[in-house]
Amino acid sequence: MDRRTFMKMVGATMAGTAGGTLLTPRTSEAQKAFEQKEFHSILIDTTRCIGCRRCEKACAEANNLPIPDISEQANEAIFEKKRKTSETAYTVTNLYETEKGKVFVPWRCMHCNQPGCRSACLVYAIKKRETGHVTWDANCLGCRLCVYSCPYDLVKWEWYGTIVRLQKCNLCYGRFLKGKLPACVEACPTEALMFGLRRGLLEEGKRRIAQNPGKYIKRIYGEFEVGGTSHLYLSAVPFNQIGLRTDLGVKSVPEYSLVYLSAVPFIAALVPITCFAIARVVRIEKDAIRKELEKKEGEEKKKGEEKEKHK
Amino acid sequence: MSAEKTEKVEIKNLRDFWSFFWSELKPKGPIFTPFNIISAPVIVIGLALIVYRLAIGLGDTTNMNNDFPWGIWKGAIVMSGIAIAGGGYTLGFVVYITGMERFRPILRETVLFAFLCYVFYAPALLIEIGRWWNFQNPFIGYEFGVSSVLFIVAWHFVLYMITLGIEFSPAAAEWLGMKRVRKIVGATAVGAVALGVMLSIHHQAGLGALISMGHAKLHPLWYTEFIPGLFFFSSIFAGPSMMIIVSSVTQKVFSNRVDEEYRKSHADIVVGLGKMCAGVMFAYLFLTFILAHHEHDLQYINTPMGYWWLTEVVGLGLIPMLLFINGVQNRNLSTIQLAAILAVMGAALNRFNCAFIAYNWFLPLEARYSPYWMEVVVTFGITFLMIWIFRFAINRMHVLSRQPEWAAAIDKH
């Protein structure tokens, strides 16, 4: 190996390593937030919800969305359909017919502990705040991978209009910074929604389960689902009867891309080097073959010349 | 002929360049061909629709909604477009790294095709993203989502586009008669290819990693932990399959631009590529079946989605593989070409399935996504425009023929 090739290889190695280090994933950020600070949460007790939809109205008022009609006649018509959250409604309440009768369930962004939308975002426009709020910033470019990857299907894109944005519950982050409760919690007449620190709410949920034997099923939805969420659900009936998916597992969404992300620096460092190595070996081999052929040809030529001389 | 001509015009300054460029812009063939008559209005309407979409938003111009955030612009143009552009790195690897010189005649055409795929699909992404005025944020923004798969894909997408540009630039330098530039870019070939292989592995697999994040909404038959690997493997056979089709077409359409060496070796190249595709497809299908079995997904086979999966994996996977093997054994070019068409369709269908067909599959049929006519017209408009540029380059540069003497002399030094 001459000096030039050596320098080339050193350069390539350094470039590969630098690139690899630069692009090493930092997925542990959400984890860090999780360890250092308590997340804020809302405990939703579906046995207490009466389907008045005041949370929907308060949410619309707080977030400048179209104000829904929550009169009783309107409610009756609306509960016939299972609605989804949308760009005009961050929270919706649905009615489910279950084995224990009618159950109302409010829906909104779950504010996962390790949000898939946050790890999907390539410009860090979606943030998991240290307080637990999952918020959206305007440097978003609208690739909608967050919508694609939300396991609960609660992240919504605004499709109509030129200046569009991501529309979802942000746990009233603005109000939180001013020291106020989330609008929906403030509006709830039956304390079906309860705001607080996640750990405290989990304890409260377990206390309710223990103090009212037979009233609840003995689990809190959101304690472990998809890595844990900040919206916690208590229910009297199995969760799949009130529309909550129970097949999602406990693995958080960012973990699904972790295999790929951890391979990135290795590929960045190793593949070019391997390619150069193969190319070099092939070249050496080819040169050797060519030289041998030339040698043979030369010998044959010599022999032929000698033969002609003899003649 | 053209080699001598270009040698005479050596471009020394910008004015030379522009006068030469203007003279080259004139069409080389007849203007009113059936292809032109069909494609020109589609391109014009497509461009108008792109402006319309940028002004008015996605809701009125596409059928995408919150259940199906990705439509054919991402599924067809970006995802499958990148898969069929995979020939760029596979053939670059085969020729420059493993030194199989017999594939060299097809290399420039492949690199040009891949380069154009990337160049035209990047603007397609621009119209696809909702807040397009922010498109530069991943590159020069103030916040980098370094833990995002899409961040890596975006960067490697752009870097690979530049790499392909460098890989193709010798042909452009020869066309413009820039000897010094030709000397510099000619020396970068192996480096560019090695870098290109790395970048390709990253973003081909990265697209799969994006899909794997939608695991909760993707049909279990399509979701596996190894989607990144499957995407990478399928691009290895989809790229060369596409090149079998493209090279067979260009052999006929641009026969005046093909030199004797390429014409003679074309059959050998197609058979060689067919062999390669058969091998890679076997690995891909083997992995697919094994994964489906290991993850206990075969219980879904006897459902409508299961039949659809079989269509993709058997109808457009196993059958083209067998056709490839048969065609290679009998040296039957038309069998290989048919197999290539099916294989490309299979790879594209796989991307379509992951983007919107097998996504949210539990929704009723009337709520499912089907493309709006504007989406289809824009897709065709972009593709036609790409074919126009492809034709432009082939008619003027040494793409299908050996490089001119002076360039070969530079390479030898």
Stronger pLDDT, B177 or B233, i.e. the higher one:
B233
The reported pLDDT for the residue numbered B313 is: 93
Q: How far is B17 from chain A (nearest CA, A)?
A: 34
Mean per-residue pLDDT, B25-41? 84
Which of A29, A84, A140 lies closest to B131 in CB terms?
Answer: A140
* Reported CATH class of domain B49-412: mainly alpha
Q: How far is A215 from chain B (nearest CA, A)?
A: 30
Stronger pLDDT, B57 or A11, i.e. the higher one:
B57
Mean per-residue pLDDT, A140-151? 91
How much of chain A, in percent, has pLDDT values that exceed 70?
A: 88
**pLDDT score of A16 more than 70:** no
Mean per-residue pLDDT, B68-78? 88
With CA atoms as reference, report the closest residue to B340 among B230, B238, B236. Answer: B238
- Which range, A19-33, B11-25, B225-239, B294-308, is most confident? B225-239
**pLDDT score of A4 more than 80:** no
Could you state, in order of their start, the residue ranges of all structural domains in chain A? 3-22+260-310, 37-256
**pLDDT score of A32 more than 60:** no
Computed over every residue of chain B, the mean pLDDT equals 89
Computed over every residue of chain A, the mean pLDDT equals 87
**Chain B CB within 8 Å of residue A36 CB:** no
The reported pLDDT for the residue numbered A14 is: 67
Query: Under CATH, which architecture does the A37-256 domain have?
Result: 2-Layer Sandwich (3.30)
Could you state, in order of their start, the residue ranges of all structural domains in chain B? 49-412
The reported pLDDT for the residue numbered B176 is: 83
The reported pLDDT for the residue numbered B255 is: 87
- Tell me if B216 and A245 make a contact (CB, 8 A cut-off): yes
How much of chain B, in percent, has pLDDT values that exceed 90?
A: 56
**pLDDT score of A246 more than 60:** yes
Mean per-residue pLDDT, B385-406? 88
Local confidence band at A29 (pLDDT 50, 70, 90 cut-offs): low
Q: Residue B186: which residues within 8 A CB-CB, separation 6 or more? A: B170, B407, B410, B411
The reported pLDDT for the residue numbered B175 is: 86
Mean per-residue pLDDT, B38-59? 92
Q: Which range is least confidently modeled, A35-44, B84-93, B239-248? A: A35-44
First to last CA, chain A: 48
Rounded to 5°, the CA angle A182-A183-A189 comes to 110
A contact residues 133-172, partner B, Cβ 8 Å cutoff:
137, 139-145, 147-149, 151-153, 156-165
Percent helix, strand, coil in chain B, to 5, is: 75, 0, 25
The reported pLDDT for the residue numbered B140 is: 86
The reported pLDDT for the residue numbered B13 is: 72
**For chain B, what's the residue count?**
413
- Tell me if A268 and B198 make a contact (CB, 8 A cut-off): yes
Stronger pLDDT, B298 or B110, i.e. the higher one:
B110
The reported pLDDT for the residue numbered B125 is: 85
For residues B383 and B43, give the distance between their C-alpha atoms in angstroms, rounded to a whole number.
Answer: 9
The reported pLDDT for the residue numbered B403 is: 82
DSSP three-state, residue B405? helix
Tens of pLDDT, residue by residue over B261-276, are: 888 899 999 999 999 9
The reported pLDDT for the residue numbered B1 is: 38
- Tell me if B135 and A164 make a contact (CB, 8 A cut-off): no
**pLDDT score of A207 more than 90:** yes
Q: Assess contact for B247 and B87: CB atoms under 8 A.
A: no
Stronger pLDDT, B49 or B183, i.e. the higher one:
B49
**pLDDT score of B107 more than 80:** yes
The reported pLDDT for the residue numbered A19 is: 58
Tens of pLDDT, residue by residue over A101-131, are: 899 999 999 999 999 999 999 998 999 998 8
Cα dihedral value B185, B186, B192, B197, nearest 10: 150
